[in-house]
Every structure is written in C-alpha cells, then in structure tokens.
Amino acid sequence: MRRYLPALFLVFSCLAIFPCQADQVDEDFRSVRLQLTDEPSLFQRTTNHAENAAERALAFIGIRYRRGGSSPETGFDCSGLVGHVFKTLGTVLPRTAREISHKGELVHQDELQPGDLVFFNTMRRTFSHVGIYLGNQQFVHAPASGGQVRIDNLREKYWSKRYNGARRLGSL
C-alpha cells in the first residue's frame, strides 16, 4: 500500500487543483451523446436504405423484360432491375445475379426484411435470378423473356422450389 501512496497523493492533488476539468468532461460527454441521438444509427440507415430500395422497385412494375437490360427506357433483366434500383440509392452492384450474391450478408428466409435480395436457381445453376423482397413473402423482379417487372410470392411452388437464399446489403 505504501508504494501507491505517492501516486494516490498526486491524483488527489490534481483533482483538488483542477476540479473544473471533470465538469468539462461531463459537459462534453452530454454534448456528444445529444449529437449521437440526433443521428440515425447504422441499423436505422441500413433499414431505411433497404426499405427505399423496395419502394423504388415498385415504380418499375410493368417495365418489359429485356435480356441484358438495365434501364426503364430499354427494359430490365433481373440483375439490371436490382442494379438500377440500388444505383439510384448510391450503391453500385455487380452486373450479374451470381456476382451480386456475394455482396452483403447472408439472411435466413424467416428473417427477410423489405429491401433484402432474394436469389433463385432458374437456369439450372444457383444464383441465376435475383429479386427485391417487399415483405409478406412477396418480391419484385424482372422474370423472363416476354414478361414484365412484376410481384410474385416466395410461397408459390415455382419460386419456393428454386429459392437459393437471400442477402442484406448494408451501405456498401
């Protein structure tokens, strides 16, 4: 204990000489905490980003399917639709469904949220099709040649048999 007496004396002496320092630290801490509560959390920003993606995708319902298409003027394929929607939100994605499937974090099907990306095996290979989850087991996508951007249900036999998984994109 005697070894620590000089150190303790020094600490208490400093506190006696500079008492306002502790008050200033407390005031700074309160100020920073107030600033942080005004800012949305990372979770809120990610959730808002994903929900915005789901909402924006709905604007393209009825746009015709076009293989390799990536704009509303010329038409969309599945990855072109997803890429266009996320690009309008400031996130650039790779061009193909397979490449997109490597982005974000894996999401279990019972944890899907609006804006998550859902992947399917539609061409006898995994991750050959992608859509944007809307909620309530529904997703929007550009299905196939001759089709249009539309909403389908994950529970439909065709889609449930071909479901490959889902990814959640944060702010990439």
**C-alpha gyration radius of the chain:** 26
d(CA 30, CA 27): 5
To the query of whether residue 141 is one of the catalytic residues in this protein, the response is yes
Determine how β-strand 150-153 pairs with β-strand 129-135: unpaired
DSSP single-letter state for residue 109 = G
Quick one: tokens of 161?
């048999």
To the query of whether residue 84 is one of the catalytic residues in this protein, the response is no
* Given 49, 84, 108, 129, the catalytic residue: 129
Burial of 136 per CB tally in 10 Å (0-12, 13-18, 19+): exposed
To the query of whether residue 102 is one of the catalytic residues in this protein, the response is no
Contact (Cβ atoms closer than 8 angstroms) between residue 166 and residue 86: no
* Given 78, 84, 102, 108, the catalytic residue: 78
Catalytic residues: 78, 129, 141
